[in-house]
Structure 1
Amino acid sequence: MKKTLFSLVGLAAFLGVVSCNTNNDDNVTPPISYVGIVHATPDAGNVDVYLNGGLAAQNFAYGSDTGYYAVNPGSYNLQVAPTGTTSYVLNTSISLAPGTAYSVFTIDSLSAIKAAVVTDSFTIPSTDSVMVRFFHFSPDAPAVDVVVSDGTTWFGNRTFNDQEATKSYQAFTKIKAGTYSVNVNAAGTSTVLLPVPALTLQGGKVYTLYAKGFATGTGVQALGVGTLQHN
């Protein structure tokens, strides 16, 4: 399912979490951060997500995203619970720097759920190009290559959550806009784990692709590719 991520709207208030008021003494607007949350935990069901006790997403379905929220920079308590409960399956802190945008993915299986916090730094491409990156968030899948039908490897030997240790994987790459036939292969082989026969990337847009689900999963929890559009 294709979702639109991060509409880049700054909210004036966010359930008591956000305060973007102008300083009346010197007429300077305090710096803000942007944060969007993506539900990528295949077996968690629908959840409620809280930032510093404020409800950021309610009845939040697997594969969904919130779009950007504008918040004050600083440290935030991120909590995730099954919808309608306060039985938190994730209770952690995230740090947001001023003037920076972030994606926060809930990843891994429910028993090992964690937050993957990535920095979103990009420029809008021209109308004949796109900016794209890839994250591996399928916890039981092997290392993968993302290969186009013409044999070009877009992303090679990517392992689960590897952008956490290798920050360069958080960067976006420019490619030509178009519709592509793409395979997610076991790394270094021609073994197709997941075919993506018609991936459309619209010119002038910025995308995050991510492997989701379980390699051994079925139905909604089956291995798939999430497509998030940033602008």
Structure 2
Amino acid sequence: MKKTLFSLLGSLAVVAGVVSCTTKDQNTIPPVATFGVVHASPDAGNVDVYVGGSLAAQNFAYGSDTGYFAVTPGIYTLQVAPTGTTNFVINTNVTFSPATTYSVFAIDSLSAIKAAVVTDSFTTPSTDSVRVRFFHFSPDAPAVDVAIAGGSTLFSNRTFNDQSTNTSYQSFATLAAGTYNLEVRAAGTSTIVLPVPITLEGGKVYTLYAKGFLTGTGTQALGVGTVVHNQSIQ
């Protein structure tokens, strides 16, 4: 599912209860933090998401994202529960630093569901280029390479949630804009696990992520999710 994740400042959704960003002299606006949530837990069903005790997303479906929220920097409780309940399957603290943008992914199977917090630090590319990164969020899939069919390998030997221990994987690489036939392959082989035809539009920033189960069917089948980051400062 391909969705635009956010428009930064100007059309930000603001979490209820967040205080004004204006300082005492009413002239200086201190840096805020921004974050969005992506539902990548294949068998968790629809969920409600709370941040700092406030409802950030209701009836939030697998493969969806919330859009971005602006908050005062600090430590917040992140809670995720099946829709209409307070049976929290995720109940953890997250830290949002000033002038920093984050994506918070709900990942893994329901029995092991957790939050994967990544920093969205990127430069908007020129209109003939894109910025792209890849995360491996398929719990039962082996290590994979992501390559252009008949061309170069873009991401090598990526394992489940590996960006949590190697933060360099949170960075974005630059590619020429265009239509690609990508292949998710078993790492180090030519065995194609999943073909991924995709159009990457110039001037945009993308996160691609492996989702679903290798052995899954229907909506839980192995696939690639796409988040499009469009930055617009007004």
Residue by residue over 1:80-132, the C-alpha shift from the partner in whole angstroms, topping out at 9 and shown as x without a partner, is: 00000001111001001100000000000000000000000111101110000
Contact 1:132–1:173 (8 Å) recurs in 2: yes
Cα displacement (A) at 1:22: 1.2
Whole-angstrom distance in 1 between the partners of 2:113 and 2:88? 11
Show the counterpart of 1:113.
113
Cα displacement (A) at 1:190: 1.1
Residue by residue over 1:63-96, the C-alpha shift from the partner in whole angstroms, topping out at 9 and shown as x without a partner, is: 0001110111010100000000001111001001
Show the counterpart of 2:177.
177
Query: What residue identity is the alignment partner of 2:212?
Result: G
- The TM-score with structure 2 as length reference comes to 0.95
Cα displacement (A) at 1:24: 3.3
Cα displacement (A) at 1:13: 4.0
| 1:43-82 alignment runs, 5 A limit | 43-82=43-82
Show the counterpart of 1:14.
15
Cα displacement (A) at 1:192: 1.1
Query: What residue identity is the alignment partner of 1:15?
Result: A
| 1:40-189 alignment runs, 5 A limit | 40-189=40-189
SS, match of residue 67 in structure 1:
strand
The number of residue pairs the alignment matches comes to 229
Query: What residue identity is the alignment partner of 1:63?
Result: G
Contact 2:13–2:68 (8 Å) recurs in 1: no
Query: What residue identity is the alignment partner of 1:219?
Result: G
Show the counterpart of 1:213.
212
Query: What residue identity is the alignment partner of 1:38?
Result: V
Query: What residue identity is the alignment partner of 2:120?
Result: D
Show the counterpart of 2:23.
23
Query: What residue identity is the alignment partner of 1:21?
Result: C
Contact 1:8–1:67 (8 Å) recurs in 2: no
Whole-angstrom distance in 2 between the partners of 1:160 and 1:13? 32
Cα displacement (A) at 1:32: 0.3
Whole-angstrom distance in 2 between the partners of 1:120 and 1:13? 18
Whole-angstrom distance in 1 between the partners of 2:90 and 2:203? 36
Query: What residue identity is the alignment partner of 2:16?
Result: L
1-10 vs 74-83, which moves further: 1-10
Query: What residue identity is the alignment partner of 2:44?
Result: A
Are residue 192 (structure 1) and residue 192 (structure 2) matched?
yes
Alpha carbons of structure 1 residues 161 and 12: separation in structure 2 relative to 1, 3 Å? closer
SS, match of residue 185 in structure 1:
strand
Whole-angstrom distance in 2 between the partners of 1:27 and 1:129? 37
Cα displacement (A) at 1:26: 5.6
The sequence identity of aligned pairs, in percent, is: 71
SS, match of residue 168 in structure 1:
helix
State the superposition RMSD in angstroms.
1.2
Alpha carbons of structure 1 residues 152 and 13: separation in structure 2 relative to 1, 3 Å? closer
- The TM-score with structure 1 as length reference comes to 0.96
Residue by residue over 1:130-156, the C-alpha shift from the partner in whole angstroms, topping out at 9 and shown as x without a partner, is: 000000000100000001112310100
Whole-angstrom distance in 1 between the partners of 2:205 and 2:40? 19
Cα displacement (A) at 1:12: 7.2
Moved beyond 2 Å, runs of 4+: 9-13, 24-27
Are residue 204 (structure 1) and residue 203 (structure 2) matched?
yes
Residue by residue over 1:22-51, the C-alpha shift from the partner in whole angstroms, topping out at 9 and shown as x without a partner, is: 123362222200000000000000000000
